[in-house]
């Protein structure tokens, strides 16, 4: 069964990543578990602010929430703008690290030799996320996509597209 392009997906895609006749077929995000460290930082800052007010009586403790909010916002932006995009020509991995740091890796479908996935542990199996490993034919380079939602679906999509080439 051939997968049809998603018109709503193509409207959301940044077009500077795509060629003229390239169509986005699927978008896979990282699992929101990546937000745990920014959340821990935000939560820890709130605890510090409460302790400052409780033991010192100062009212400026809420200034501690500003860096906490920035840390959480940085993590949220990094998670939201990081994804794996499958098109009819290539696989793009876009990793947003913070507000101004972006890493883009791509591999053409014709250069993919093998696709593997792994779900390690009980939590990953229950929540349905895992790691994807894409092996390139030209250099035996391995592309890792960590903590991807629905890794088996991504593997099946890529293997189906590779078999159609």
pLDDT tens digits, one per residue of 19-49: 777 888 888 888 887 788 888 888 888 887 7
Give the pLDDT of residue 159.
92
Confidence (pLDDT) at 54: 80
DSSP 131-153: EEEEEETTT--EEEEEEEESHHH
pLDDT in tens, 11-25: 555 555 677 778 888
Distance CA 145, CA 94 (A): 10
CA distances from 24 to 46, 66, 101, 118 (A): 41, 38, 23, 24
pLDDT of residue 31: 85
Q: What angle do CA 52, 57, 63 make, to 5 degrees?
A: 50
pLDDT score, position 1: 44
- Taking 50 as the pLDDT cut, the residues of the chain under it are 1
Q: Is this structure's pTM higher than 0.85?
A: no
CATH numbers and ranges of domains, the chain? 7-30+82-163 (2.30.29.30), 36-75 (no CATH)
């Amino acid at each position: 069964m051939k997968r049809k392009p998603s018109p709503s997906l193509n409207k959301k895609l940044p077009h500077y990543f795509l060629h003229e006749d390239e169509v986005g077929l699927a978008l896979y995000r990282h699992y929101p578990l990546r937000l745990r460290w920014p959340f821990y930082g935000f939560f820890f800052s709130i605890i510090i602010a409460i302790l400052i007010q409780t033991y010192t009586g100062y009212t400026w403790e809420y200034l501690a929430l500003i860096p906490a909010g920035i840390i959480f916002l940085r993590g949220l932006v990094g998670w939201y703008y990081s994804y794996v995009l499958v098109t009819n020509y290539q696989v793009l991995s876009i990793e947003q690290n913070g507000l101004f740091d972006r890493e883009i890796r791509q591999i053409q479908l014709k250069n993919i030799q093998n696709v593997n996935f792994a779900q390690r542990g009980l939590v990953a199996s229950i929540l349905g996320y895992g790691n994807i490993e894409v092996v390139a034919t030209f250099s035996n380079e391995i592309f890792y996509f960590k903590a991807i939602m629905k890794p088996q679906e991504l593997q099946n999509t890529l293997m189906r597209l590779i078999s159609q080439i």
